[in-house]
DNA sequence: AGCCCTCGAGTTCC
DNA sequence: CTCGAGGGCT
């Protein structure tokens, strides 16, 4: 590389640099060896860091000196990029937190479970397993033929990171299971550190002048997410198993309860915490909660609560899941610890929807294991209610041990004006908090809708804060999942004027990105690749990414699932949207408004033009046909005085909206309706906009119906029917009957109402049967139910 | 008409 | 995590 002859001075400095780089690498390598292999650091962290940074700087200045074996490549930059993603065959769900930290929490959970299972007071109490909720890092261990093959973090629940090497260094984790192991066994559990071990480790680390670990949870998480396994090996980590993911081939009979499952895991040599119990009914759960609370200080490790799980696995299956968490388990936490600190300022942030949120800037205070400096105050009313002012001494806790929250103001410590300045009554130094009437980011007017708690910046996408938030949302992990597009980058892209809308992202190229701060060729290439990869995300993610008001992750899934394509979503008028589950007038209107906005339409067109193509578009769902009845559509149109019942009557008169829009002798044909209703309808139809909307609705409806899959494939026999179970059936247990009905597409609810299609009654049926007779709901016995399942099956087969 | 449940939106700290 | 609001059921 010295063939060319550059000016002498440059040649000199380059060769000096080359020598220094070589020296630095040798020195760092020696320190690494001392630290990792001999476990005896030869220099302090500060000295080591200084050497490391010098090497990084030189390599940055002289890229030709960069080699792949440099220590800066091993640990520098973003180490997480080097973990391989692992798809969880069975998702690693989180667990719902019971917010009531009093004993009521146990009763609340029990009540929800009983209600879901359709049990009433007369039914036997439910059996649970209670365990501890460890404060650590959730991981999944995959054993094949009893041998540990892979360990992964939870990640987003469906995809985690491969941290096998690190988990192998945890002494509690068996590399080989004892006894007869299933062919495949994914063990779910928690990596944690005991308080003593943490203290001991920190004492040694401090003595060596190294960084200490803040709390056991971060210690566990930080250690496992290190690229270099020797780091994890040097930390005293432990493990408890508490559940399973994918399982194949239990030797002998598979466990049928969670308690038996835990025992089985223990038998296989996995550590299972001894503080667990099988308990019957809510009172026993509450007692466990109290008993563990007393035990908590003497436990060797940190817990933030206890966990209750329905013991029987078949009941767990019957209860099923909510969006991201099982319905059969709950974490019952303990009240958080509080600390006192001063409010230094109250700032106002602007969110994606323009919502203004006051945030208290606090004098740093250590509470619940971390140092807290900010706490959200949610909205103006909230600040007023608590009357938080600048300078106040406040009591702070971490709600649910995570989000900092101001509990109360200590009024006696409020700073007051000196008595001389305010003779007579003492006066607070600072006035009550008020939100500004101009957006702090863009100066637009701040508006607060009647009856709404949040105030919003009216600037829309003119407001840079909203634009940035919209872009971050678009790129977010749950949306288009563009890795590497974080806050700092969005900030720069917007400031440069390169990116105004999400569509602009797809026009970015590597040379352009390299002009940004801290952006080398490699990062730029990665980012462009991540952006390109996002073009084929699922439709649900794409819809969510658009950031339509009231359309979050779950509603986006519903829309994608039912309508199947962006084209239908854009085209669907409000009444059609309102027919979908979870979508009513407000959400439907928000969607229509979004697509009607020319700016949004052009952004979407630009996205499509840039090649963004949801990978899973499909025809609308077959069941849509059942929901797109004119009765429902008429009811959803918002015609005055037209109740659901009247809408059905109207549908009987006009089986198609277009016909209604173009009807002659309208008043006469509406005669069967009560006069005020028909008058309101005639009035409504007098508006040509409304007639046009009806025609539009009719044609879109027809187009959607025509697009439905030709053979309505697996039409479930009981789809759309609601059942209520009562009494004891001769053969089927209650939950078995429930499972059968649900498997066939039916729904089981707890009480009889007009919405109920059938009541299934056994012996000793109670008031539900009376109610059914009263409402004229058909009553089935077990045989009739089974016949119905069979009969409908044949009909559709 | 009113309650209950779920979802959406904003936020913290590492 | 918490709060508010929308949707669905009583």
Place of tokens 């300078």: A391
Task: Find the range with the poorest average confidence among A80-94, A154-168, A169-183, A587-601.
Answer: A80-94
Residue A768 annotated to the active site: no
Nearest to A164 by CA among A182, A186, A179, A145: A186
Judge whether residue A629 contacts strand C, using its CB and a 7 Å cut-off: no
* A578 Cβ neighbours under 8 A, 6+ residues apart: A584, A585, A588, A636
CA distance A651 to A245: 50
pTM summary value:
0.64
CA distance A413 to A342: 10
Q: How far is the CA of A726 from the C1' of C7 (A)?
A: 27
Tokens coding A88: 């969880």
Q: How far is the CA of A233 from the C1' of C7 (A)?
A: 52
What is the reported pLDDT for A50? Answer: 60
Which chain B positions have some atom within 7 A of a protein CB? 5-14
CA distance A125 to A127: 7
Strand order in the sheet with A722-726: A747-749, A722-726, A758-761, A779-780
- pLDDT by residue (tens digit) across A250-266? 888 889 999 999 999 99
More confident residue, A31 or A584: A584
Neighbours of A393 (CB within 10 A): 16
CA distance A342 to A779: 65
- Calculate Rg over the CA atoms of chain A: 32
- pLDDT by residue (tens digit) across A425-481? 678 888 888 888 888 888 888 888 777 778 888 888 788 888 888 998 999 888 898
Please, which pLDDT band fits residue A34 given cuts at 50, 70 and 90? very low
CA distance A624 to A627: 5
Q: How far is CA A491 from the centre of its chain?
A: 25
What is the reported pLDDT for A87? Answer: 81
Judge whether residue A403 contacts strand C, using its CB and a 7 Å cut-off: yes
Which residues, in sequence order, are bridge partners of residue A162? A152
Judge whether residue A608 contacts strand B, using its CB and a 7 Å cut-off: no
Judge whether residue A351 contacts strand C, using its CB and a 7 Å cut-off: no
Look up the protein residue whose alpha carbon has the minimum distance to the C1' of B10. A351
Please, which pLDDT band fits residue A201 given cuts at 50, 70 and 90? confident
Q: How far is the CA of A363 from the C1' of B12 (A)?
A: 15
Q: What is the mean pLDDT of chain A?
A: 81
Judge whether residue A215 contacts strand B, using its CB and a 7 Å cut-off: no
Neighbour-count burial of A87, counting CB atoms closer than 10 A to its CB (0-12 exposed, 13-18 middle, 19+ buried): exposed
Phi first, then psi: what are they for A743, rounded to 5°?
A: -65, -30
What is the reported pLDDT for A40? Answer: 44
Calculate helix-pair angle for A195-207, A216-224, nearest 10 degrees: 70
CA distance A288 to A103: 10
Q: How far is the CA of A608 from the C1' of B14 (A)?
A: 37
More confident residue, A765 or A113: A113
DSSP string of A2-69, one letter each residue: --S---HHHHHHHHHHHHHHHHHHHHHHHHHHHHHTSS--SS-HHHHHHHHHHHHHHHHH-GGG--TT
- pLDDT by residue (tens digit) across A649-666? 898 889 899 999 998 888
Judge whether residue A405 contacts strand C, using its CB and a 7 Å cut-off: yes
Residues 317-346 on chain A lying near strand B, CB distance under 7 A? 322-323, 327
- pLDDT by residue (tens digit) across A71-85? 554 332 223 345 777
Nearest nucleic acid nucleotide to A557, CA to C1' distance: B7
Look up the protein residue whose alpha carbon has the minimum distance to the C1' of C10. A753
Q: Which of A4, A133, A333, A795 is catalytic?
A: A133
Beta strands (DSSP E) in A612-757 are 722-726, 747-749
Over 70: is that where the pLDDT of A784 sits? yes
Look up the protein residue whose alpha carbon has the minimum distance to the C1' of C7. A582
Task: Find the range with the poorest average confidence among A63-72, A219-228, A312-321, A738-747.
Answer: A63-72
Judge whether residue A155 contacts strand C, using its CB and a 7 Å cut-off: no
Q: How far is the CA of A709 from the C1' of C5 (A)?
A: 35
Pairing, β A137-144 against β A147-153: antiparallel
Q: How far is the CA of A396 from the C1' of B13 (A)?
A: 15
Q: Which of A84-88, A334-338, A403-407, A769-773 has the highest mean pLDDT?
A: A403-407
């Amino acid at each position: 590389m010295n063939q060319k002859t550059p000016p002498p001075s440059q040649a000199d400095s380059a060769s000096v640099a080359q020598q220094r780089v070589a020296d630095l690498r040798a020195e760092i390598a020696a320190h690494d060896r001392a630290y990792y292999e001999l476990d005896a650091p030869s220099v302090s962290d500060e000295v080591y860091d200084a050497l490391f940074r010098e090497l990084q700087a030189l390599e940055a200045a002289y890229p030709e000196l960069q080699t792949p074996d440099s220590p800066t490549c091993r640990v520098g930059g973003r180490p997480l990029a080097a973990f391989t993603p692992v798809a969880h065959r069975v998702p690693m769900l989180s667990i719902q937190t019971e917010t009531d930290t009093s004993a009521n929490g146990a009763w609340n959970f029990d009540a929800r479970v009983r209600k879901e299972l359709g049990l009433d007071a007369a039914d036997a109490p439910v059996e649970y397993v209670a365990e501890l909720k460890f404060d650590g890092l959730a991981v999944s261990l995959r054993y094949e033929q009893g041998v540990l093959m892979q360990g992964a973090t939870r990640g987003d629940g469906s995809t985690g990171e491969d941290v096998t090497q690190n988990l192998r260094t945890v002494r509690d984790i068996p590399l080989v299971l004892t006894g007869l192991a299933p062919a495949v066994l994914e063990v779910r559990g928690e990596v944690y550190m005991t308080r003593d071990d943490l203290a001991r480790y920190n004492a040694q680390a401090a003595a060596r002048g190294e960084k200490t670990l803040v709390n056991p949870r971060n210690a566990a998480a930080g250690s496992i997410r290190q690229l270099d396994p020797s780091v994890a090996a040097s930390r005293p980590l432990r493990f408890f198993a508490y559940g399973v993911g994918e399982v194949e081939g239990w030797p002998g009979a598979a466990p049928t309860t969670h308690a038996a499952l835990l025992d089985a895991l223990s038998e296989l040599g996995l550590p299972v915490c001894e503080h667990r119990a099988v308990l019957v009914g809510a009172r026993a759960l509450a007692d466990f909660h109290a008993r563990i609370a007393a035990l908590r200080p003497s436990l060797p490790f940190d817990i933030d609560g206890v966990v209750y799980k329905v013991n029987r696995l078949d009941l767990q299956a019957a209860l099923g899941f909510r969006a991201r968490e099982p319905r059969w388990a709950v974490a019952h936490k303990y009240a958080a610890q509080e600390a006192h600190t001063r409010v230094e300022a109250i700032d106002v942030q602007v969110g994606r929807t323009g919502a203004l949120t006051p945030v208290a800037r606090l004098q740093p205070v250590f509470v619940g294991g971390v140092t807290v400096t900010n706490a959200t105050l949610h909205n103006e009313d909230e600040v007023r209610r608590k009357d938080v002012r600048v300078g106040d001494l406040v009591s702070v806790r971490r709600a649910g041990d995570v989000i900092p929250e101001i509990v109360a103001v200590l009024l006696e410590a409020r700073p007051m004006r000196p008595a001389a300045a305010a003779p007579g009554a003492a006066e607070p130094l600072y006035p009550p908090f008020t939100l500004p009437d101009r957006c702090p980011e863009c100066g637009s007017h701040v508006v607060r809708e009647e009856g709404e708690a949040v105030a919003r910046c009216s600037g829309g996408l003119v407001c840079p804060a909203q634009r940035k938030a919209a872009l971050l949302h678009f790129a977010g992990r749950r949306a288009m999942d563009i890795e590497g597009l974080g806050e700092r980058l969005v900030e720069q892209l917007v400031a440069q004027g390169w990116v105004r809308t999400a569509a602009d992202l797809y026009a970015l190229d590597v040379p352009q990105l390299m002009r940004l701060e801290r952006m080398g060729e490699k990062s730029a290439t990665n980012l462009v690749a991540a952006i390109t990869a996002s073009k084929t995300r699922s439709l649900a993610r794409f819809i969510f990414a658009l950031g339509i008001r009231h359309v979050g992750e779950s509603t986006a899934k519903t829309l994608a699932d039912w309508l199947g394509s962006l084209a239908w979503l854009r085209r669907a008028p409000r009444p059609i949207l309102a027919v979908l589950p979870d979508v009513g007038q407000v959400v439907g209107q928000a969607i229509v408004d979004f697509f009607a906005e020319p700016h949004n339409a052009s952004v979407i067109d630009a996205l499509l033009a840039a090649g963004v193509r949801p990978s899973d578009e499909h025809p609308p769902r077959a069941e849509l046909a059942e929901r797109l009845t004119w009765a429902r559509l008429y009811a959803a149109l918002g015609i005055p005085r037209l109740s659901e019942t009247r809408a059905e009557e109207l549908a009987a008169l006009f089986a198609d909206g277009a016909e209604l829009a173009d009807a002659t002798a309208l008043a006469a044909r509406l005669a069967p309706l009560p006069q005020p209703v028909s008058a309101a309808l005639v009035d409504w139809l007098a508006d040509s906009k409304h007639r046009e909307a009806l025609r539009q609705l009719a044609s879109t409806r027809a187009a959607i119906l025509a697009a439905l899959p030709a053979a309505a494939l697996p039409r479930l026999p009981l789809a759309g029917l609601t059942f209520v179970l009562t009494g004891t059936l001769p053969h089927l247990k209650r939950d078995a009957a429930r499972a059968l009905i649900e498997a066939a597409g039916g729904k089981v609810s707890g009480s009889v109402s007009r919405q109920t299609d059938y009541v299934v009654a056994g012996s000793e049926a109670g008031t539900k049967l009376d109610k059914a007779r009263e409402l004229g709901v058909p009553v089935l016995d077990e045989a009739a139910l089974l016949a119905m399942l069979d009969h409908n099956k044949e009909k559709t087969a």
